[in-house]
Copies of this chain bind each other. A is one copy, B any other.
Amino acid sequence: MSKQLMTDMALKSWHSTIKRTNAIFEDLSDEEMKREIAPNKNRAIYLLGHLAVVNDMMLPLLGLGETQFPNLVDTYLKNSDDPSKDKYTVKELREFWKTSNDALSEAFSKMTVDQWFEKHTKVSDEDFATAPHRNKLNVLMSRTSHVSYHQGQLILLK
């Protein structure tokens, strides 16, 4: 009962955070997406690719499947924003972002409550035995905070 409740809470928080962040992206024109959030800081187009790839990497981390966009890792995760090296257009990145959110929503909807309390794939059985908080639900909560962190930046463009 309390596991179900906690899972519901964390999922509600995830979905509402994604929804608000998505609304900001949708509200920004393709031109505005190329503006820096602050002088010499990331542009919104970079954050769009960044959030898409971090979403995408949640699939293997949660044992839900392979990544769909390994091609985004270098430009939008390993490196910081470089306006001279745009690998994809805003339109393409919007599509990757949508696909990554749809894939997660679909996969989450099929998970049982107990699965959320299993270890995530980057922690060993030994470590998990002494640190049971390193479960899949904790990944979801920490990724929700990560999206909020960047949402706070994106709102500056409004």
Contacts and interface: CB of A to CB of B under 8 A. Distances in A.
Contacts of A152: 148-153
Contacts of A104: none
Majority-rule SS of A interface residues? helix
A99 interface: no
Interface of A: 2-3, 5-6, 8-10, 12-13, 17, 37-39, 41, 117, 132-133, 135, 137-138, 141-142, 144-146, 148-153, 156
28 contacts: A2-B2, A2-B117, A3-B6, A5-B117, A5-B132, A5-B133, A5-B135, A9-B138, A9-B141, A10-B141, A13-B138, A13-B141, A13-B142, A37-B38, A38-B38, A145-B145, A145-B148, A146-B148, A148-B149, A148-B152, A149-B149, A149-B151, A149-B152, A150-B152, A151-B152, A152-B152, A153-B153, A153-B156
